[in-house]
Amino acid sequence: MGKPTGFIEYQRELPESRSPLERVRDWREFHTHLSAQKLKTQAGRCMDCGVPFCHTGTLISGMASGCPINNLIPEWNDLVYRGLWKQALERLHKTNNFPEFTGRVCPAPCEGSCVLGIIDPPVAIKTIEQAIADKGFEEGWIVPEPPPQRSGKKVAVVGSGPAGLACAAQLNRAGHQVTVYERADRVGGLLMYGIPNMKLDKAIVQRRVDLLAREGVLFVTNTDIGKGLAATALREKFDAVVLCCGATRPRDLPIEGRNLEGVHFAIEFLHANTRHLLDNNFSSNTVISAKDKHVIVIGGGDTGTDCVGTAMRHQCKSLAQFEIMARPPGARQPDNPWPEWPKVYKLDYGQEEAAARFGDDPRAYLIMTEQFSGNDNGHVRALHTVNVEWIQDGNGRFSPKKIPGSDREWPADLVLLAMGFLGPEDVILDQLAVERDGRSNAKAEEGKYATNIAGVFAAGDMRRGQSLVVWAIHEGRGAARECDRYLMGTTALP
């Protein structure tokens, strides 16, 4: 424990993000770092609890409590406090292949279950994690570490999101020759083409991919398994196959006017935007532009926030974001006690930018879209909504009920549907005859990751359903461990 009285003496402090009105003028990351002295102070707030809930990584009420990859948080806090940054990095890499990603994008369930959080603001765990990872790269401590010997076994990983990358990293470490197949033109899954550059710089994703390549992982892009190359062919060519294809089917809103021009899935908008940024730095028009448009984002969550932040950078004319649920309370409620994930109101980066430009949080709560209407050219021009209240039926189930007379029309030139994802696509699972669970995900037991087909494993959003980067890393590591056990009869992977 770095400083026994640190939690009494020091207040929580986070690095100031770049100012909203300045950062919407570019695509650079909005994160900044604390000084080394301040990081030491923040690490000194860690109490090194006897039972550190921050690294438990369990599900309570369906939400993560503690770090899903069981990061050894009190240990690296202590090392940072003592200035032993390289050792802190080693501890961090023991459980997390990609701390430079989680340090930027993780919602930090560790902080929700930090014991200090019972009486005071929690330890700034995520900030310290990012600082350790970034310092590791700056100092040149993170270098390729190819395995000392090869096993002679070959594994195909399909999908290069955080689950596929973590799985590949671990299997390669065990000496297997790993080939990662990706249908997009760049590696990274939603790290590359979902989460926008201002939240996670694509050079940071590419840096890790390059490192994995130098460690011996092979990457094959522009290859859609199941269409370009049959999934069954992989089964013949490789000793094992790990499916990490994500939950890529977006939830639709099949109401009147859905087929009008200007109504898009959020992921189409975000993918096209990052692609343009990386291909030609917007020297041509973006495929889907929000510039000078009335933009409406339907749905909250990370995807909705990223649409808001992206539309702000396109210089939209106005922006509204609809949420069918009620606005969360400002503080934990009695039915949401510590160490559960705190379900509280939060102004995320996109909403903060919209508020700075337009004067208010763009989110409207308890609102339901009933219809899109268009102009003579078949382009969306307005959206029609009603307000709702949530009513409980005799079985205890809540459903939204329209409030009479609350109809409203909103001007809209661009509508982005960010209502979540339904599960994986069929083709590859059907070709391999992999069973599904009740939610249409690839069926494989938690902790085992083996599907009903021998030698075929599934991990990440494809198995778990739409989730988080940190869970994808957890699943990719677990699937690698079980795949290694299948190949070798035993495993030393964690």
Strand ranges for 216-273 from DSSP E: 218-220, 240-243, 249-250, 263-265
Residue 109 binds which one of ligand FAD, ligand SF4, none, with CB within 5 to 8 A depending on kind? ligand SF4
The least CB distance from residue 70 to ligand SF4, in Å, is 8
- 16, amino acid identity: E
Part of the chain binding ligand SF4 (CB under 6 A), chosen from 125-133, 232-240, 333-341, 399-407: 125-133
372 binds ligand FAD (CB under 6 A): no
Residue 194 binds which one of ligand SF4, ligand FAD, none, with CB within 5 to 8 A depending on kind? ligand FAD
Strand ranges for 80-230 from DSSP E: 154-158, 177-181, 218-220
The CA-based angle 302-303-308, given to 5 degrees, is 95
123 binds ligand SF4 (CB under 6 A): no
- 3, amino acid identity: K
Which secondary-structure segment (H or E) carries 473? helix 469-488
Site track for ligand FAD across 414-443, x = CB under 6 A: --------------x---------------
Residues 6+ apart with CB under 8 A from 130: 31, 33, 99, 100, 103, 104
The DSSP bridge pattern shows strands 63-65 and 58-60 to be antiparallel
The least CB distance from residue 489 to ligand FAD, in Å, is 27
Determine the size of the site formed for ligand SF4 (CB under 6 A). Answer: 13
Part of the chain binding ligand FAD (CB under 6 A), chosen from 43-51, 169-177, 279-287, 456-464: 456-464
SS3 per-residue string spanning 297-326: EECCHHHHHHHHHHHHHCCCCEEEEEECCC
Tokens of 137: 């790269």
Nearer to ligand FAD, 85 or 101 (CB): 101
467 binds ligand FAD (CB under 6 A): yes
Residues 101-120 that bind ligand SF4 (CB under 6 A): 102, 106, 108-110
Whether 144 contacts 211, CB under 8 Å: yes
The whole-angstrom distance between residue 290's C-alpha and the CA centroid of its chain comes to 23
d(CA 250, CA 230): 24
Residues 57-86 that bind ligand SF4 (CB under 6 A): 67, 69, 71, 73
Site track for ligand FAD across 322-361, x = CB under 6 A: ----------------------------------------
DSSP state for residue 245 in the 8-state scheme:
-
Which residue from 205, 244, 383, 480 is in contact with ligand FAD, where contact means CB under 6 A?
A: 244
Residue 71 binds which one of ligand SF4, ligand FAD, none, with CB within 5 to 8 A depending on kind? ligand SF4
- Contacts with ligand FAD, residue ranges (CB under 6 A): 105-106, 158-164, 181-184, 189-190, 194-195, 224-226, 244-246, 248, 267, 270, 302-303, 306, 428, 460-462, 467-470, 472
